[in-house]
A and B are shown apart, each in its own frame.
Chain A
Amino acid sequence: MTPAPWNERLRDRIPTSLREEIDTFETQMEMRKVGKVDEKVFAETRLRRGVYGQRYDNGQRHDGVRPRTLAYPRGDLKKGPDTVWDAPGMTRIKIPMGRLTNEQLDVIAELAEEYSDGILHVTTRQDVQLHFVHIEDTPDMMRRLGAVGITTREACGNVVRNVTACPYAGVCNTQSFDVTPYAHALTYFLLGHKDSQDFGRKLKIAFSGCRSEACGLANIHDIGALAIVREDNGEKVHGFELYVGGGLGSVPHQAKLLGFVPAEELLPTAQAICRVFARLGEKKNRARARLKFVVARLGIDEFRQVVAAERAILPEDDRWTSYLGDLGVTEETPAYPAAPLPEGIFKKGFADWRRTNVRPQAQVGYAIATVRLPLGDLTSRQARGLSEVARRFAGDTIRLTVEQNIVVRWVPEARLPELYAALAEHDLHGPGAGTVADITSCPGTDTCKLGISASRGLSAALEQHLAGAELDDDVRGLRIKTSGCFNSCGQHHIADIGFLGVSRNVKGRRVAHFQLVVGGKWADNGGAYGLAIGAFPAKRIPKVVDELTAYYTGEREEGESFHRFIERVGKGAVRKRLEHLKQVPDYDVDPSFYTDWGDAREYTIGDMGAGECAGEVVSLTEFGLADSERALYEAQSELDAGHAHQAGSLAYRAMLEAAKALVKLENIDVIDEPDQIVGEFTSRFHDTGRFHDRYAGAKFAHYLLAAHASPPNGEALDEMRQKIEEAQLFIEAAHACYDRMQGAGL
């Protein structure tokens, strides 16, 4: 008995628009497989659906002895430039504000064990990533996610990425107010918004409820929103200080204050920033294409003026304020009444766990428990166990944190011992959350194409090293963060002690190294960026940490923080103190230095590939032309099935899509309405002769005009076949027109 496929089984549980998007993506995949969509366009298309590349997906891997070709079944078929179709990839599931229901967690757990490697990886931006996924499994994954209210749309690519927020929002003692409903509104306002589709690179947004803590990291984002309550004529006004142009990466920039916006101006201001970024952001040089470069180039004063001018001309949109009437949309109801923790003798380990993993809520009698995930990983079985625990002790939701952990909120304090015991049943009771042994790490060389050194291998080794060490209390509270390369996905710039992967040539052999970064500030929403002070062999990093922390505990002044200590002694002194640890023994003396952490192969950087973090810069016109070809492909399918009427309609739709794509070159606001599309196409491209073919003149344009005047709706297959051929010629002419305009620099 063959079961019904997921698209049939879940048909009634997925919102129509999302269902159609996923069906469209599946069609685009089929078109790519038969060469009917350009690989660059397809790459950006899949990225915008959260379907990412992964290390070795170019079909090459160094096995420790020599580079080898991985003989994938369809090695010639590509899903992007230099990216083999059958190579496993990563699927990024965006979780807005890191807020997950137990049902959603259960579904992600299922997907991880069915399609991935059984591991859910929590990222520093509150996403969940699944690795080793085949692209052909992704549409069903999207459907199953869609059935529980999750979309992977715009999880990657040059778009607005996951909107993050403080995981304690709503239950925090230091917040101005709960940012969750505002972040929720902005997430779904910008998702798929036409003004956020034409960026040269990604745009990241974060919300924080307070100024002094780190949890929201508003300062390191393109747009950081800091909750503020202002007094205005005796009335309290809820709003946000908006910070813009922050970002880590290879060139970290501190965010600049754009200004205060009341809540009703949050969405339109963000929309205006998106439009400015789309218009003024770099499109060719991706290394300088983030918003921070626009802010730096213009200066914050001019940027502020440009945004204000853009805001002033925005057409009114009801959605800007309609959500304010329902701020309870993200409200959580505790499952159990509050109750204080009684005095008593508790199970071994509980006290240590409580000290590091539990914090009181703003609501008296409730606590927030942090589930510490080593390197952000948990198994599917653990995820199911965690959702069960959350149901038993807290309520319906959990939140992912930017430190790659999970918090369970609304736990009655009296039930903390039971919660601890229940977590222990699933190996989720590890203490030390938010301590020096709770290390944040990007995927590095494990799975990332850009990884230079094994950040996860190093982090695992450091966690093990520190977990068994007797640590000074001030050292215990430090943050260590590691990145596998300079792109800073592990957020090393804002750690007390940060590491980024580099490589060094030692007597003709490559040796994995990490640059040590000190002086960063985790608090104050990522308040200061550290500086690299030298590269050390990867295998010496545990010793580097030992000596650096010993230097601090030995020579700190009373009450002096690590950050202050580094400022006082200076980076030169730190460098001098650690200089002796830079030595690499000869290969014959200690070959272990020539392998990386967690990898038996001799170290090489030959496996690095082109990253997809930046995505492909694909213009709206290129996307539109791809859409037109998809419609034409579907028209042909309908014709093959004997559905003449549907084939004719789709052929007409294909021409409209192509015409709209061209119009968007000059009018991004063109609406999806045939009269307007054809009217604008006629005035801009037909009447001006710009669309005309050198030999055929206006012939191809007239196919569209004729179809618009009398849309094809007959039942004669031959007639509709003719319409499809005309549409094909029209689309080709649109491509040629676009090429001519690009060639002319228009």
Chain B
Amino acid sequence: MSGLEVQQLEVGLELADGATIDQAALIPIFHRWIQEDRLGAATVLIDVADYRHVPGGPGVMLVADGAQWRMDEGGGATGLVYARKRDPLGEPAAKLEEAFGNLLRAAVALEAEPALRGTVRFAGDRARVTVMSRLAASGDRGSYDAFAPAVRAFAARLWDGEVEVGDATESRGPLAVDIRAAPATIAELLARLT
């Protein structure tokens, strides 16, 4: 491990093959989550932002103090993304643990949402980690080489087995790492974290 410190991680799970999402249905769900403090009282949920009009955009977004969840449609795939916004630089392992915990809790809650009638299922064999902070990672090959081992180690623990990681950074985009693993349910992944 190179000792790279990171912050502002985004982690995402794609919808499973064949699963669909009605973004409009997320609006009342996220508002209800705010009413019910569904993601825990420690998370200050603020509002729901509707970006359905933006093609390939962030869809419907749940905005919290220092974090966001969104049903992102960018990059050719739809999936749930958790974005940490205001955290200090720190060790990757703890950052990954925190980010995946927040992502998986929301994903499990969405899969169980009665209003979605079981249409939403997330792919448990892949995920993406993005380091939004250019201060921490420029997105060049060197930053990938410094960060990827930490992602591999974390993912191996989360999936409890072999994983593959690859550089998914787009031109001039933030450092992005793709994870491929054996299929697992979202609930199983969450259980390994908690």
Q: Interface of A with B (CB < 8 Å)?
A: 1-3, 5-6, 9, 55-56, 61, 63-65, 70-73, 86, 88, 106, 110, 113-115, 117-119, 131-132, 134, 136-137, 374-375, 377-379, 381-382, 384, 388, 426-427, 430, 446, 456-457, 460, 463-464, 598-601
Contact = CB atoms under 8 A, between A and B. Distances in A.
A86 B44 CA distance: 11
Contacts of B68: 117, 132
B46 A70 contact: yes
Contacts of B5: 1-3
Nearest to B24: A598
A377 B135 contact: no
A379 B133 CA distance: 17
B34 A88 contact: no
Top 10 nearest A-B pairs (CB, nearest first) are: A427-B55, A600-B28, A374-B53, A460-B53, A427-B56, A598-B50, A600-B31, A63-B35, A600-B27, A1-B3
Contacts of A426: 56
B58 A119 contact: yes
A384 B35 contact: no
8 contacts: A65-B35, A86-B65, A110-B134, A117-B68, A378-B54, A426-B56, A427-B56, A430-B55
Interface in B124-168: 132-136
B68 to A, nearest CB: 6
Contacts of A64: 31, 35
B134 A63 contact: no
B86 A137 contact: yes
B8 interface: yes
Contacts of A72: 44, 65
Interface stretch (B11-19, B96-104, B171-179, B180-188): B171-179
Given A1-B5, A88-B63, A600-B31, A71 B56 contact: no
Interface of B: 2-5, 8, 27-28, 31-32, 34-35, 44, 46-58, 61, 63, 65-66, 68, 70, 74-75, 83, 85-86, 89, 132-136, 170-174
Contacts of A427: 55-56
B169 to A, nearest CB: 12
B27 A599 contact: yes
B57 A1 contact: no
Nearest to B45: A70
Given A1-B2, A132-B68, A600-B31, 19 more contacts: A1-B3, A3-B135, A61-B47, A72-B44, A73-B44, A86-B65, A110-B174, A117-B49, A119-B58, A131-B49, A134-B66, A137-B86, A381-B56, A381-B74, A381-B173, A384-B172, A427-B55, A463-B53, A599-B27
Contact of A119 (B34, B35, B57, B65): B57
A119 B134 CA distance: 17
A5 B5 CA distance: 13
B136 A3 contact: yes
Nearest to A375: B53
Contacts of A374: 53-55
B55 A388 contact: no
A115 B75 contact: no
Given A2-B5, A377-B54, A599-B27, A115 B34 contact: no
Contacts of B50: 446, 456-457, 460, 598-599
Contacts of A137: 86
A106 B170 CA distance: 13
Contact of A71 (B44, B53, B55, B136): B44
B89 A3 contact: yes
A7 to B, nearest CB: 11
B46 A56 contact: yes
Nearest to B10: A113
B46 A377 contact: no
A666 B186 CA distance: 70
Nearest to A379: B57
A114 B134 contact: yes
B133 A114 contact: yes
A377 B57 contact: yes
A213 B163 CA distance: 60
A1 B91 CA distance: 10
A3 B143 CA distance: 12
Contact of B132 (A113, A382, A457): A113
A262 B104 CA distance: 65
A490 to B, nearest CB: 15
A86 B31 CA distance: 21
A379 B136 contact: no
Contacts of B48: 599-600
B35 A379 contact: no
Contact of A446 (B4, B27, B49): B49
B15 to A, nearest CB: 19
A382 B52 contact: no
A379 B134 contact: no
Contacts of A136: 86
A378 B51 CA distance: 10
B79 to A, nearest CB: 14
A464 B4 CA distance: 46
Nearest to A119: B51
Nearest to B3: A1
A463 B58 CA distance: 18
B31 A134 contact: no
A223 to B, nearest CB: 34
A384 B86 CA distance: 23
A427 B57 CA distance: 9
B85 to A, nearest CB: 7
B31 A63 contact: yes
B56 A134 contact: no
A136 B65 CA distance: 13
A446 B34 CA distance: 16
Nearest to B174: A113
Contact of B44 (A55, A70, A117, A388): A70
B157 to A, nearest CB: 23
Given A86-B65, A117-B68, A446-B49, A384 B56 contact: no
B27 to A, nearest CB: 5
B173 A384 contact: yes
B89 A114 contact: no
A379 B65 contact: no
Contact of A377 (B51, B70, B74): B51
Contacts of A61: 46-47
B35 A117 contact: no
Nearest to B50: A598
Specify which of A64, A114, A136, A375 lies most central, judged by the most chain B CB atoms within 10 Å of its CB.
A114
Nearest to A136: B86
B25 to A, nearest CB: 10
Contacts of A381: 56, 74-75, 170, 173
Contacts of B63: 88, 117, 132
Nearest to A131: B49
A134 B158 CA distance: 32
A113 B35 CA distance: 27
